A = this chain, B = another copy of it.
């Protein structure tokens, strides 16, 4: 019952990018260093963020990564779902889960609401709003 480290790394990366001037290109090795993330793993994480439209990358000499989604246009929930896929705090909340009682089960309904409260809060602040101090290391 925990977010993955990959999500944590994605969050750190986006915090770093949001805190920089818009449009700035940053080398991944620099992010890896300052945010204490294993570089090859960070590369994969950044690829996920790129595919999802948060950042764009530039290869070759002087390459790097830059934000293309404004920091006030996405939330923690967006990042979590980008990295981990649709949230389901219990197997029975997955679309693919089959159970005779699925639709009528009061426990499932209850867990669905619990999850909704959680996601609701994750959506209550944009990344731009989150940045006051940020969490390194």
Contact = CB atoms under 8 A, between A and B. Distances in A.
Given A89-B1, A91-B5, A110 B130 contact: yes
A31 to B, nearest CB: 16
A121 B87 CA distance: 17
A113 interface: yes
Given A3-B1, A87-B1, A134 B106 contact: yes
Contact of A76 (B11, B80, B114): B114
Query: Chain A: interface residue count, which band?
Result: 35 or more
Nearest to A15: B107
Given A100-B137, A101-B135, A110 B1 contact: no
A114 B121 contact: yes
Nearest to A4: B1
Contacts of A96: none
Given A91-B8, A114-B76, A118-B117, A135 B2 contact: no
A62 interface: no
Nearest to A113: B121
